[in-house]
């Protein structure tokens, strides 16, 4: 599920409220039918990933081993499921790899739902695609907020719109195939590489 909204529309506030970092003025928050409104974030069965990855003073392997022990779960099967098992050998990670690592660390908790606050807003094109591919591999319910209509059309099953803190919808996503075609059409990495491989008489 994707909530689409412009900057300042209330997207991050909504996710932080659901995650438990902000207390709602009224209403209730339930997870699998359980009211979690008054519970701290650590006791809500949710996995929250902010826009910017949290930089831990640990190597990826150290972080995975620590949280794996904490949650009593092996991390290698999860990394392979995500398609990011190469991260365990890294000493340091890029911003894009940091978000993929954050996704893996959150999933070690096995949350009921993922809350993703524009998780690819600072990533390059290929890392964005890698992140969404990894998320799709999980088959885990996720609530994603974004300001990018093309991104929303690409990843959403169901769309909502938020304006001035008010959410409207749901709207069926009828533009997924169109968005896939658009992303492929503008994948200059592949197009320019193909041009480079052409001979002088291949045109």
70 pLDDT band (50/70/90 cuts)? very high
| pLDDT tops 60 at residue 108 | yes
- pLDDT of 32 reads 80
Select from 142, 144, 137, 153 the least CA-distant residue to 120.
144
pLDDT tens by residue, 143-171: 999 999 888 998 888 999 999 888 998 99
pLDDT tens by residue, 44-54: 889 998 887 77
φ, ψ of residue 143 to 5 degrees: the values are -110, 115
| pLDDT tops 70 at residue 201 | no
Instruction: Quickly count helices (H) and strands (E) in the chain.
Output: 8, 8
Query: How many beta carbons lie within 10 A of that of residue 198, not counting itself?
Result: 9
Query: CA-CA distance, 13 to 37, in Å (whole number)?
Result: 15
Query: How many beta carbons lie within 10 A of that of residue 102, not counting itself?
Result: 23
199 pLDDT band (50/70/90 cuts)? low
pLDDT tens by residue, 127-146: 888 888 888 888 889 999 99
CA distances from 5 to 31, 76, 77, 132 (A): 24, 36, 35, 19
Which residues, including other chains, have CB under 8 Å from residue 107's CB and lie 6 or more apart?
47, 78, 82, 138, 140
| E-strand stretches of 14-77 | 30-31, 34-35, 46-49
> What domains appear along the chain, each with residue ranges and CATH number?
2-197 (3.40.50.300)
- pLDDT of 198 reads 64
pTM, two decimals, is 0.82
Query: CA-CA distance, 176 to 167, in Å (whole number)?
Result: 21
């Amino acid at each position: 599920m994707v909530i689409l909204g412009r900057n300042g529309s209330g997207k991050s506030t909504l996710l932080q409220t659901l995650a438990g970092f902000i207390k709602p003025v009224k209403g209730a928050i339930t997870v699998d039918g359980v009211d979690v409104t008054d519970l701290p974030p650590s006791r809500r069965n949710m996995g929250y990933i902010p826009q910017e990855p949290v930089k831990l003073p640990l190597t990826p392997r150290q972080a995975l081993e620590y949280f794996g022990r904490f949650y009593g779960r092996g991390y290698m099967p999860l990394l392979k499921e995500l398609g990011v098992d190469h991260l365990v050998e890294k000493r340091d990670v890029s911003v894009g790899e940091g978000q993929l690592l954050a996704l893996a660390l959150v999933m070690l908790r096995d949350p009921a739902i993922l809350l993703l606050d524009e998780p690819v807003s600072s990533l390059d094109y290929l890392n964005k695609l890698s992140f969404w591919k990894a998320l799709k591999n999980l088959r885990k319910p996720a609530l994603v907020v974004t300001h990018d209509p093309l991104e929303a059309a690409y990843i959403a099953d169901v769309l909502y719109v938020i304006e001035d803190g008010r959410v409207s919808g749901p709207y069926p996503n009828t533009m997924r195939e169109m968005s896939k075609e658009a992303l492929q059409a503008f994948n200059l990495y592949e197009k320019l590489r193909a041009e480079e491989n052409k001979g002088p008489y291949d045109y």
